[in-house]
Structure 1
Amino acid sequence: MPLESRTLRYFVVLAEELHFGRAAARLNIVQPALSAQIKALEVSLGTELLHRSRRHVELTAAGERFLIEARRAVAQLDHAEEVGRQVALGKAGVLNIGFVGSAPFAKRLPWVISRFRRDWPDVELSLQEQNADDQMQHLHERTLDVGFVRLPLPGSLDGLRLLKRVRESIMVAVPASHSLAKASQLTPRDLVNETFVAAMSHESAGWAATLRQIGIDSGGNAPRIIQSSPHLATVVSLVNAGLGIALVPDSLHSLDFDQVRYIPLAGDHHTSDVAVLIRDEPATPLVANFLTVLDQFDHH
């Protein structure tokens, strides 16, 4: 007969009291029921755990050894039950977060991660750099819980939901030796004949659209792209090497390269949005707690 956790708990209490009446009172059951449970346990194990007399109860050698293992098993069960309760409340477990490579430079992701770790220290955060396309797929596959993406997205939002956008202005990163490096602000018309280093990846659909818009706004041709990289940080390093100029979100000016100057691009419609992506369904407790921290950021 398989052992039940209830029977193990009964035995541990009885071994501590060495008195059926007191043990039954602690367990809030009648004494005959406790006696029957302990007898059934001994039959199942094929050995006596207790020496009984009218005046005295004591553990046998087998009982003493079994008590060690029973206590260990009960402690593990108690721990498992507590973990289950904590997970159900969103206070424990694993939260899988995806982010595009440039997202950590924006204020929201680092602040939210730091605050979430402080508020929910027993939750394990699994942070995974992924492009927006992969994040969308993994959200559908339920191997990802929350995503940080740059807009626009490369595919349909079917089954997913966007929320909590942060709008960033766009800067022009230029080599320090460039003729535009001393400008306080640039317009699309200033960039007509320039050579660009561009971010080209699923993450950077927005940059491609902005480059096309610059061509439209300036009345010129599509910008000339001499070099590309899937990572915005690499793009800035190529600007530092003098290969061309680049469009970057405002947050990337924290990348301090000696030979790069960051100049604002005029026009309110030249922006880059970082957004949070989740499944379009009731949030799990873990995700709900994470979104609560996001709300705190909006009021920070």
Structure 2
Amino acid sequence: MELRHLRYFVTLAEELHFARAAERLGIAPPTLTVQIQEIERSLDARLFARTKRSVALTPAGSIFLEEARAVLARFAQAESAGRRAGRGEIGRIEIGYVGSAAYASVLQARIRQYRASWPGVEINAHERPMADLPASVADGAIDIGFVRLPLALPAGVSRHVLLRDEFCIALPAEHRLSGESGPIRAAQLANESFIPPEQAAGTQEVARRGRFAPRIMEAPGNLVAVLAQVSLGVGVSILPSAVASVVRMPNLVFRPLAGEPILSEVAAIYRMRDPSPTVRTFVRQLLQTAPLKMAFQPIGETAL
């Protein structure tokens, strides 16, 4: 028995008239008669009681009608879901992000924008170690990654820059340089202990400019842990200025760095030939977004 047989049966059950049912179906009445007979033989049951003047459902036909309608409804749902999935209207997207991307607000803005356009798509977003994100995108463990550049990317993975900000320095409030009125020069940090965030490019550039080998402490983990270590007086940290614009923590201050800004970029990374329509739609929205620029402006302080 095929799906068309169920449609023939349900139509006849609704019309209880072979000629009218056949007209609705776009087939000849004799063809409909043959199809109904095939269904009855397949089920070994009489579904209709026929006379020259009337057609009526048998008890078996009434039971079969309820089930046939349920099957057709479920098929219609599956068909609709398939079409919607093909258009990217439903599905799921897995996102991984580095912590500083969340502080920069671009992560939230892009997810909020996508959800407004495609509310039927489920989005799962989790913080992950940045070093793991490129491989996770490449092998399909996640669909989109939000990272800090520079970062080496595997073949088949591309990127789109969403934000450009600059590195600054986080200091404990009692630090000798925390009261400086102007930007901190790289050479002034030669004897400091540096607590490394996941993106070490800022620390490396400060050391290069100051012509010293940085004393790097053990990495404490995520960005909150880095800031906590600084606030406890363990050392200083070179961080993106986006963090300074939103974070407030006891005994923690942010100061700008002197000289040409050391730029940091938040980018989305994605597979260039992703098979998922939902992911392709997300990427298309990302590519339509021009990079934002953010200047150093600590929370509660005036920009310098």
Normalising by structure 1, what TM-score?
0.89
Write out aligned runs for 1:252-267 (5 A): 252-253=243-244, 254-267=246-259
- Of all paired residues, the percent bearing the same amino acid is 37
Q: 1:111/1:216 Cα in 2 relative to 1: closer, same or farther (>3 Å)?
A: same
Structure-1 separation of matches of 2:119 and 2:91: 10
| Residue aligning to 1:80 | 78
Deviations 1:40-74 (CA, angstroms, capped at 9, x unpaired): 11111111111111211111111111111111111
2:93 is matched with 95
**Cα deviation per residue 1:205-248 (whole Å; 9 max; x = unaligned)?**
x41x33222222112x2222334223122101111222221111
Please name the residue that 1:28 is paired with: 26
Aligned to 1:275: 267
Match of 1:163 in 2: 160
- What are structure 2's unaligned runs of at least 5 residues? 293-304
Q: What secondary structure does 1:179 align onto?
A: coil
The corresponding residue for 2:302 is none
Query: Which letter does structure 2 place at the counterpart of 1:240?
Result: S
Quick one: structure 1 residues 80 and 122, their matched pair in 2 at CA, closer, same or farther if it must change by over 3 Å? same
Q: Structure 1: which 4+ aligned runs deviate by more than 4 Å?
A: none
Instruction: Pick the aligned partner of 2:125 from 124, 127, 138.
Output: 127
Of 244, 269, 290, which aligns to 2:282?
290
Task: Show the counterpart of 1:108.
Answer: 106
**Partner of residue 222, structure 1:** 213
Corresponding residue SS for 1:255: coil
- After superposition, give the CA deviation of every residue in 1:122-177 in whole Å (9 maximum; x if it has no partner): 11112233334433323332232222122222x45322212234222112111122
Secondary structure, counterpart of 1:229 in structure 2: coil
Which deviates the most, 69-78 or 221-230? 221-230
Q: Is the 8 A contact 2:170 2:254 kept in 1?
A: yes
1:239 and 2:230 matched: yes
Hey, what's the Cα distance between the residues in 1 that align with 2:291 and 2:205? Answer: 33
AA partner of residue 226 (structure 2): V
1:52-67 counterparts in 2 under 5 A?
A: 52-67=50-65
Report the RMSD for the aligned CA atoms in angstroms.
2.1
TM-score (norm 2): 0.87
Tell me, in whole angstroms, the C-alpha distance in 2 between the residues paired with 1:179 and 1:63.
Answer: 90
Taking a change above 3 Å as real, the CA distance of residues 135 and 33 of structure 1, as seen in their structure-2 partners, is: farther
The answer to whether structure 1 residue 178 and structure 2 residue 185 are counterparts is no
1:43 is matched with 41
Change (3 A) 1:214 1:100: same
Q: Secondary structure at the match of 1:58?
A: strand
**Which amino acid in 2 is paired with 1:237?**
A
CA distance in 2, matches of 1:238, 1:132: 20
Deviation, 1:104, is: 1.3
Q: Which moved more, 1:186-195 or 1:288-297?
A: 288-297
Once the 2 structures are TM-superposed, how far is the Cα of residue 295 of structure 1 from its aligned partner?
A: 4.3
Change (3 A) 1:282 1:107: same
CA distance in 1, matches of 2:4, 2:256: 69
Distance 1:84 1:130, change over 3 A: same
Secondary structure of the 2:235 match is coil
Do the aligned partners of 2:88 and 2:277 also contact (CA within 8 Å) in 1?
yes
In structure 2, distance between residues paired with 1:280 and 1:215: 36
- Bigger shift: residues 126-135 or 68-77: 126-135
Distance of 1:299 and 1:57 partners within structure 2:
70
The answer to whether the Cα contact below 8 Å between 2:166 and 2:240 also exists between their aligned partners in 1 is yes
Distance 1:24 1:164, change over 3 A: farther
- How far did 1:292 drift? 3.3
> In structure 1, what is the equivalent of residue 296 of structure 2?
none
Is the CA contact 1:111–1:297 (under 8 Å) kept in the aligned structure 2? no
Aligned pair in 2 of structure 1 residues 9, 133: CA closer, same or farther (>3 Å)? farther
CA contact (8 A) 2:106 2:162 kept: no
Equivalent residue, structure 2, for 1:5: 3
How far apart, in 1, do the equivalents of 2:233 and 2:124 lie?
Answer: 37
Aligned-partner residue type, residue 218 of structure 1? G
Which residue of structure 2 lines up, in the alignment, with residue 196 of structure 1?
194
